[in-house]
Amino acid sequence: MPLPATTEPASALGALAWACSRDLRIALRHRGEVALVLVFFLLVGSMFPLAMAPDPTLLRAIAPGIAWVSALLATLLSLPRLFAADHADGTLEQLLLAPAPLAALLAGKVLAHWLTTAAPLVLLSGLAGLQFDLDPEGIAILAASLLLGTPLLTWLGAISAALTLGARGGSTLLGLLVLPLAVPVLIFGAGSVEAASAGLGAEAHLSLLAAGSILASMVGPATLALAVRIAFE
């Protein structure tokens, strides 16, 4: 999908919609890559019940942490394709020169990546919860925590992916950048289910996840644009 042929500056909303639509169409043409992330998420979660003693109490206790670690690893698996292809064929450089806000264009790409990668993980969290014998309330809170927390993970991953563009061993550097930053997200995400099961309520954990994602969505586009510009300097 070519860049809009216009010399007039595009609006931020229009640029975001164009970039999101473009990347969604590309994802539809590469369904196998999207499916691989989802299968990976389910397989990682399935290994633990098979490898451990069939103790329902133990499985329910570890379920939130396993689900969130699986989601993080699945997100890491999908991050290299966020910018790699566009960087290789020159599209990313065209975006830098396009008469549209770069931050909005990149935000559209991040939104499309979340819709094709993280959003399906939220839908599959119910199946993952059933493997660990979670009750309906626990599954609902797990899904809510993933819904509120994965945007923050996606922004952290996108900025890290931009910083490692063109670097030797970029995939390794990407993991080293994202994993430490993702620790608080994992703590609050898994803690929301644990707090609910203990009768303490998950509202505080979910609120912190939502606040982090909102903050990331506000400062993420400008930070990501700066990271991409640095990669081309």
First to last CA, the chain: 26
Give the pLDDT confidence score for residue 154 in this predicted structure: 93
Sign of CA dihedral 164, 71, 22, 219: negative
Give the pLDDT confidence score for residue 6 in this predicted structure: 44
Question: How many Cβ atoms from other residues are within 10 Å of residue 207's Cβ?
Answer: 13
List of the chain residues with pLDDT < 70: 1-10, 53, 166-171
Long-range contacts of 134-143 (CB under 8 A, 24+ apart): 134/60, 134/63, 134/193, 137/196, 138/60, 138/63, 138/64, 138/193, 138/196, 138/197, 141/192, 141/193, 141/196, 141/202, 141/206, 142/63, 142/64, 142/67, 142/192, 142/193
DSSP string, the chain: -PPP--SSPPPHHHHHHHHHHHHHHHHHHTHHHHHHHHHHHHHHHHHHHHHS---HHHHHHHHHHHHHHHHHHHHHHHTHHHHHHHHHHTHHHHHHHSSS-HHHHHHHHHHHHIIIIIHHHHHHHHHHHHHTT--HHHHHHHHHHHHHHHHHHHHHHHHHHHHTTT-TTHHHHHHHHHHHHHHHHHHHHHHHHHHHHTTS-SHHHHHHHHHHHHHHHHHHHHHHHHHHHHHT-
CA–CA dist 187, 63 (Å, integer): 13
Give tens-digit pLDDT for 6-31: 434 468 888 899 999 998 998 888 88
CA-closest candidate to residue 114, choices 156, 154, 149: 154
pTM of the model: 0.87
Two structure tokens written together for 5: 């042929």
Give the pLDDT confidence score for residue 96 in this predicted structure: 86
Give the pLDDT confidence score for residue 10 in this predicted structure: 62
Give the pLDDT confidence score for residue 150 in this predicted structure: 93
Q: Which residues contact 140 (CB under 8 A, 6 or more apart)?
A: none
